[in-house]
């Protein structure tokens, strides 16, 4: 959430920068400024009346002591009037603050200066790429390989739950577990502390990281208990630091977490949802950092480098994209997407997003820090990234490593799964 100071002091800049995200903020910004001014004026008037009533209450006692009963009773009548006026102003203040909050949460985060203009994924910029493109003939897509080698049962998933909930079996399950352990171990080596978070969160957590009120239609809601199944471990892990004031010497804070992720993916249809390409439940290892504002972009580059080492060790062809304004999330200031190439599908598959949210989430979370010896707390910066999401990684591994007699397992995963070939 943008701060009122940002909006009040930089109105024109806020409106102009949000155009990069194809968001016309003019009316909302004007509404926010008007409501903020109304809130301030109402608060000032309420404070003045409260001060007047306090002074009057004190004088009434003195008048009674002096025997000036008529003046004292007149003062009491005026006090009653002031109480009603203050009550009305307090109610107005509460309503105004609610309206102001509702308007504030409509504004997306400001994009970083390096974010390119654009409306869709076609306008994203390729930053760099690497890896060797596989040369295969008569390559099978992963959903056919999964059936051929009895690795993943999509039909059984439909029976048990519905489309988008696959069942991993045998070596497919072991390979899935191997990827999770590999990603976690690599994150720990890189200095991240592992946490195992809940798979459901409350409304405050959903609001803190920006899923609410923007994306409630894409999350599974447990209505009886008013809880939400997490779309990513980012939500519970980042919320660990909600309403927390850190010391500057504690920054950056690094956490990694494995979790199942749940997404309704409403409106997703067509060939791009075949097999593992788009699921309602999938596994992911997430990396999250809380950073000093002066160092958050240095931190972002370090996180991107970490994800790059993962796809390189998996021997997958990869590329990194800087997302354009129209393809960025509501909460992000700058996002890099990682894609790996699918030889059988002959297209790139997104496997990670690494983002800096600057102070946008921290403002909603009330996540702050103090400089050593400092008295005033300031907002921290939050960042996260997929390291990595498993479904499309699994798809690319199966497709790119197939040969006539089976599927080769990348060398780095063999110690984790216990086999080097799927025959």
Half-sphere exposure of 341 (CA within 13 A, CB side): 17
Picking from 267, 84, 284, 104, the residue whose alpha carbon sits closest to that of residue 184 is 284
Ramachandran sector of residue 33 (left: φ over 0; alpha: ψ -120 to 50; beta: rest): alpha
* 298 is annotated as contributing to ligand binding: no
Vertex 265, ends 259 and 270: CA angle to 5°?
125
Calculate ∠ Cα 193-386-243, nearest 5°: 55
Residue 218's nearest CA partner among 194, 235, 238, 193 is 235
CA–CA–CA angle 156, 158, 163 (5° rounding): 135
Residues composing the chain: 423
Peptide bond into 403 cis (omega under 30): no
* C-alpha 311 chain-centroid distance: 22
First to last CA, the chain: 52
Contact 6, 14 (CB under 8 A): yes
CA distance 251 to 279: 35
Q: How many angstroms separate the CA atoms of 60 and 29, rounded?
A: 46
Residue 146, number of CB atoms within 10 A of its CB: 23
What residues does 152 pair with on adjacent strands?
Answer: 168
Give SS3 for 382. strand
DSSP three-state, residue 404: coil
- Annotated binding residue at 353? yes
Give the separation between CA 423 and CA 413, rounded to whole angstroms.
16
Q: Any binding-site annotation on 364?
A: no
8 A C-beta contact, residue 182 and residue 312: no
**Helix pair angle (26-65, 11-18), 10° resolution:** 140
**Burial of 90 (C-beta count, 10 Å sphere; 0-12/13-18/19+):** middle
* 286 is known to lie in a ligand binding site: yes
Is there a binding annotation on residue 105? no
318/311 Cα distance (integer angstroms): 7
384 is in an annotated binding site: yes
Binding residues for ATP are 263-265, 350-353
Binding residues for L-serine are 232, 263, 286, 384
Binding residues are 232, 263-265, 286, 350-353, 384
């Amino acid at each position: 959430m943008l701060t009122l100071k940002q909006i009040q002091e930089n109105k024109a800049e806020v409106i102009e920068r949000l155009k990069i995200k194809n968001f016309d903020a003019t009316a909302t910004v004007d509404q926010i400024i008007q409501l903020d001014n109304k809130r301030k004026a109402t608060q000032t008037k309420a404070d003045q009346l409260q001060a007047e009533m306090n002074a009057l209450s004190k004088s009434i006692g003195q008048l009674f002591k002096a025997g000036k009963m008529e003046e004292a009773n007149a003062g009491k009548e005026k006090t009653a009037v002031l109480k009603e006026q203050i009550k009305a102003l307090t109610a107005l203040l509460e309503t105004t603050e609610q309206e102001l909050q509702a308007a504030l949460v409509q504004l997306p985060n400001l994009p970083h200066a390096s974010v390119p203009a654009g409306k869709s994924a076609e306008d994203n910029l390729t930053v760099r790429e690497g890896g060797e493109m596989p040369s295969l003939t008569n390559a099978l897509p992963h959903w056919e390989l999964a059936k051929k080698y009895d690795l993943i049962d999509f039909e059984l998933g439909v029976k048990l739950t519905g489309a988008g909930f696959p069942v991993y079996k045998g070596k497919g399950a072991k390979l899935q577990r191997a990827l999770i352990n590999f990603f976690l171990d690599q994150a720990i080596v890189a200095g991240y502390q592992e946490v195992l978070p809940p798979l459901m969160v409350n409304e405050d957590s959903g609001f803190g990281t920006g899923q609410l009120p923007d994306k409630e239609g894409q999350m599974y809601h447990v209505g009886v208990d008013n809880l939400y199944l997490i779309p990513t471990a980012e939500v519970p892990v980042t919320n660990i630091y909600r309403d927390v004031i850190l010391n500057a010497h504690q920054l950056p804070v690094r956490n990694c977490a494995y979790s199942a992720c749940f997404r309704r993916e409403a409106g997703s249809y067509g060939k791009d949802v075949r097999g593992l390409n788009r699921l309602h439940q999938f596994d992911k290892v997430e990396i999250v950092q809380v950073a000093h504002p002066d160092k958050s972009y240095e931190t972002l580059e370090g996180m991107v480098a970490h994800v790059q080492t993962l796809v390189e060790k998996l021997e997958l062809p990869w590329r990194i994209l800087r997302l354009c304004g129209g393809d960025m999330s509501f909460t992000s200031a700058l996002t890099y997407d990682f894609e790996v190439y699918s030889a059988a599908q002959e297209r790139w598959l997104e496997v990670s997003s690494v983002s800096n949210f600057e102070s946008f989430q921290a403002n909603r979370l009330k996540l702050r820090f103090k400089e050593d010896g400092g008295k005033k707390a300031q907002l921290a910066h939050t960042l996260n990234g997929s390291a990595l999401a498993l479904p499309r990684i699994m798809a690319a591994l199966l497709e790119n490593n197939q040969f006539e007699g089976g599927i080769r397992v990348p060398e780095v995963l063999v110690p984790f799964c216990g086999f080097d070939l799927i025959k």
